[in-house]
Amino acid sequence: MKKLEEFRNDFDILKSGEYVYFDNAATSQRPRQVLDAVSNFYKTTNANPLRGLYDWSMGATEMYENARKKVAEFIGGVKSEEIIFTRNTTESLNLVAYSYGMDNVGEGDEIVVTVMEHHSNLLPWQMVAKKNHAKLVFLEPDEEGVISKAEYESKITDRTKIVAVGHVSNVMGVTNPVKEIAEYAHSKGAVVVVDGAQSAPHMKVDVKELGADFFAFSGHKMMAPMGIGALYGRKELLENMQPFLTGGEMIEYVTRDDATYAELPHKFEAGTVNAAGAVGLEAAIRYLQKVGFDFIAEQEHKLTVRMMEGMKKLPYIKIYGSSDPARHSGIVTFTMDGVHPHDISSVLNDDHVCVRAGHHCAQPLMQFIGAGSTARASVYFYNTEEEVDRFLEHLAKVRSVMGYED
Active site residues: 361
> How far apart (Å, rounded) are the C-alpha atoms in residues 284 and 70?
10
Pick the binder of ligand PLP from 38, 197, 207, 353 (CB under 6 A). 197
DSSP bridge pairs for 231: 84, 216
Distance CA 265, CA 243 (A): 10
Taking the C-alpha atoms of residue 176 and residue 169, their distance in angstroms, rounded to an integer, is 8
Which part of the chain contacts ligand PLP (CB under 6 A), choosing from 30-38, 86-94, 185-193, 320-328? Answer: 86-94
Find how far residue 346's CA is from the centre of its chain: 25
Per-residue contact string for residues 108-127; x = within reach of ligand PLP by CB under 6 A:
----------x-xx------
- Give, as ranges, the residues between 214 and 273 that touch ligand PLP (CB under 6 A): 218
Q: Is 383 in the site for ligand PLP (CB under 6 A)?
A: no
- Rounded to whole angstroms, how far apart are CA atoms 248 and 272? 7
Asked if 175 touches ligand PLP (CB under 6 A), the answer is no
Q: Does 325 bind ligand PLP (CB under 6 A)?
A: no
Q: Which stretch in 130-138, 190-198, 291-299, 349-357 sits in contact with ligand PLP by CB under 6 A?
A: 190-198
Cβ 195 to ligand PLP shortest distance, Å: 5
| C-alpha pair distances (Å), 63 with each of 1, 93, 142, 248, 282 | 35, 25, 46, 19, 9
Indicate whether 329 belongs to the interface with ligand PLP (CB under 6 A).
no
> Binding to ligand PLP by residue 101, rule CB under 6 A?
no
The nearest distance, CB 368 to ligand PLP, in angstroms, is 16
Among 28, 29, 45, 89, binds ligand PLP (CB under 6 A): 89
Write the burial class of residue 153 (CB in 10 Å: 0-12 exposed, 13-18 middle, 19+ buried). Answer: middle
CB of 121 to ligand PLP, least distance (A): 6
Between residue 20 and residue 39, which ones bind ligand PLP under the rule CB under 6 A? 25-26
Count of other CB atoms within 10 angstroms of residue 403: 8
In the complex, the smallest distance separating the C-beta of residue 96 from ligand PLP, rounded to whole angstroms, is 13
Buried b (16+ CB within 10 A) or exposed e, 358-386: bbbbbebbbeebebeebbbbbbbbbbbee
Contacts of 402 (CB under 8 A, 6+ apart): 338, 339, 343, 347
DSSP state of 326: G
Distance between CA atoms of 119 and 113, rounded to whole angstroms? Answer: 11
Q: Environment class of residue 259 by beta-carbon count within 10 Å: exposed (0-12), middle (13-18) or buried (19+)? A: middle
Choices 14-22, 84-92, 185-193, 364-372 (CB under 6 A): range interacting with ligand PLP: 84-92
Contact call for residue 333 and ligand PLP (CB under 6 A)? no
Interactions with ligand PLP, residue window 122-161 (CB under 6 A): none
Determine the Cα–Cα distance for residues 26 and 203; give it in Å rounded to an integer.
17
Binding test (CB under 6 A) with ligand PLP, winner from 88, 132, 160, 304? 88
Min CB(378)–ligand PLP separation in Å: 10
The residue within the footprint of ligand PLP, chosen from 175, 198, 335, 383 (CB under 6 A), is: 198
| Closer residue to ligand PLP in complex, CB, 61/90 | 90
**Footprint on this chain of ligand PLP (rule: CB under 6 A):** 25-26, 88-90, 118, 120-121, 166, 170, 195, 197-198, 218
